Chain A
């Protein structure tokens, strides 16, 4: 559908001109073969993928129990989380990144959800796990996992984005790959109990203003959450995408704080304390505060702003098929609600086309967008720009820098540019 011709020269090459191109000089055929565009057709020889009998055509494969817990095809073994070792001192307190360029749709598979731990992955025995509620409540309570599963449950799809996602890019283009520039995010369907339901079971006192959420890992991860948010949409989740949480995502139980920075989504959740003031723990003072150019710092910057990125093509996923019909795809999300619209530019933001959003459009969940066009083979400056249901528009990186300088680390939701070269390679750049 969205092959609308535009004024831009690069959009002009039509399907007809592509076919003509494919049929011209012998040199053209060789080039097409090298690019993998209809290779067999162009070469005029039968395709062995069709004419040969492959092993899998002939011999039976593995039986049903070969892998009691199934794994991806070995041909997909490159689809993994990756880290950037120089970012942190030790893998026990470090981060890796979701391979966004290998995914489609809106759900992140459990094994590919990026990890961030502050003292490694706690290996918690669910039989010995407890969740305590104490502080300004009528009755301090302790729940076992079995208790938690007896409360009414709900299923919700939410993105979780680390506040430092794209944080390496404040001073300019740094890392080549959307996995590294934007991969501190995942989008998962959670099953759990409303935090509100649990708090009401203990009875919240009228003086309550804040909630401390604390993890059972060796970093004792803790964050202060305003009580309005705690009583609104937070979820105490024990399932992700239908199965038990993965250990690295907080097994057996984690907090979901929809739309707010990932650090607050305390994993291995073991305690909720109701109080009347914030705690100002390390992760809300030393970290996750945003230093401004005047030397002062914003605190309690919780919400994740409207943002998008083109995942394909991108530096780890160049265009290998040559010119012709091309699918551009990416993801968009906002902590302020659903995504209303995504625009794509192929000329560095001079002209924009509205992309097609496909799949579920849910509040504070990732959205998938596509933009299809005929690429004529000349270089592109690809950008995407999301607008959320509140009307917030994803800003340029320069607009963010003008407001915040370059040292605030967190909440960089600026527009990303990929430079697509004539050979289909992609590079992380910034344009004027």
Chain B
């Protein structure tokens, strides 16, 4: 019997009881945990597949079995072997996705705390009819605000006269920030390299991280899956009818790559890469954009200043005010303007403004 079948069998005996308990206690906390999944998964009424499959009716679902979602070969295979999602199998999968199912394309490192796993499963179970039936008496979800306290202030901390007044500033408010606190938050990086942490990483290292954590959305070559952002290519398109603005074709500074990946990526799991990993993946993005060409190139706080992006020179300060339409104080025409009556030259192309198809619509995107 495979390890999956064993897990599936055990839940027939214990799973229902375990689910019941968790369901009653922790679904609310699980809703918060689910934010770590929400970049890729939807659950609830009308949930659709995103990067990952929708998770309605998950408890009792055979792994990899949604017909309208394209799973990895690995996920389909374990489903065929008999893996069914329940408390135990989900616990294993969410602890270490790639440890449990080698080759799953879920680019997620796993949940670290047992409580988080229990809670997120309890939350998902509230969207699974099978789990709800198993629950003897499904309790109502806790009301968020029981009876709200009529006062919002904290209790006074002691005698007002004992408060310590700092000597800085005009109002003597706030306190001095500690160096460790500034280090924890001050992560920004400037084009001149100010703010770069000590660290290093090669193009080759970055490729491994990129394939693991970025390619699901941004595509193996940075070409962008579906409507997720394109990160490479687009050279010589800036004057074209449909310009493609990427790191290589448009961005002025390499520091922006490091800064942005460090603060915001991977989407839905920001701040999870180490400094070395961020150098490596930045190096890899430079490589995908032909800015560096050698796979053994190592980017570090020392080599960073060697990197120049080709489009740097093509940015200039706002000069809108020099356009003719900013001429001040010109009294606009009020009567008999234009030589012929107005005629329609263009009509709205998108007549139904709430399209529910997946078509790429619209000429100009928003950013």
Contact = CB atoms under 8 A, between A and B. Distances in A.
A430 interface: yes
Interface stretch (A14-22, A227-235, A357-365, A393-401): A393-401
Given A279-B188, A391-B329, A403-B323, A147 B316 contact: no
B144 to A, nearest CB: 12
Given A132-B185, A176-B353, A351-B334, A428 B366 contact: no
A241 interface: no
Interface string B219-234: 0000000111100000
A289 B252 CA distance: 11
A282 B171 contact: no
Interface residues of B, number: 99
Contact of B337 (A141, A170, A351, A390): A351
A174 B348 contact: yes
B19 to A, nearest CB: 27
B26 to A, nearest CB: 18
A275 B168 CA distance: 20
A167 B354 contact: no
Interface string A376-412: 0000010001010011110100011001101101010
Interface stretch (A50-58, A84-92, A98-106, A324-332): A84-92
Interface string B326-367: 101110111111101111111111110111101111111111
A429 B344 contact: yes
A301 interface: yes
A80 to B, nearest CB: 12
A393 B182 CA distance: 46
A286 B256 contact: yes
A115 interface: no
Contacts of B260: 281-282, 286
B270 A219 contact: yes
A218 B330 CA distance: 46
B50 A285 contact: no
Contact of A399 (B314, B324, B347): B324
Contacts of A87: 361-362, 365-366
Contacts of A177: 353
B366 A201 contact: no
Contacts of B344: 381, 419, 429-432
B349 A173 contact: yes
B171 A201 contact: yes
B243 interface: yes
B200 interface: no
Nearest to A172: B346
B350 A305 contact: no
Contacts of A89: 217, 226-229
A177 B181 CA distance: 48
Nearest to B50: A90
Given A151-B173, A222-B263, A280-B253, A176 B338 contact: no
Given A305-B320, A409-B366, A86 B330 contact: no
A208 interface: no
A318 interface: no
Contacts of B85: none
Interface string A406-432: 110101000000010000000111111
A431 B343 contact: yes
B151 interface: no
Most chain B CB within 10 A, of A95, A134, A390, is at A134
B192 interface: yes
Given A174-B349, A220-B263, A427-B347, A296 B170 contact: no
B217 to A, nearest CB: 8
A162 B177 CA distance: 33
B324 A85 contact: no
B332 A343 contact: yes
A409 B367 contact: yes
Contacts of B356: 85
A133 B169 CA distance: 13
B188 A280 contact: no
Contacts of A76: none
A248 interface: no
Contact of A393 (B229, B330, B347): B330
Given A167-B365, A201-B171, A277-B192, 20 more contacts: A86-B227, A90-B39, A90-B267, A170-B364, A172-B346, A172-B363, A174-B349, A201-B168, A278-B190, A279-B259, A280-B191, A282-B259, A282-B260, A291-B245, A298-B319, A299-B315, A301-B320, A351-B336, A409-B365, A419-B344
Interface of A: 7, 68, 82, 84-90, 92-93, 95, 118-120, 123, 132-135, 138-144, 146-147, 150-151, 162, 164, 167-177, 180, 184, 197, 200-203, 212, 214, 218-220, 222, 270-271, 273, 275, 277-282, 285-289, 291, 293-303, 305, 315, 343, 347-352, 381, 385, 387, 390-393, 395, 399-400, 403-404, 406-407, 409, 411, 419, 427-432
27 contacts: A84-B353, A88-B365, A90-B50, A120-B35, A139-B168, A143-B173, A144-B174, A147-B173, A150-B171, A175-B353, A203-B168, A220-B263, A286-B260, A293-B239, A296-B315, A298-B315, A299-B317, A301-B320, A305-B320, A343-B334, A352-B334, A352-B337, A385-B332, A391-B329, A399-B325, A432-B342, A432-B343
Closest 6 CB pairs of A and B: A348-B342, A220-B263, A201-B169, A395-B325, A171-B363, A295-B238
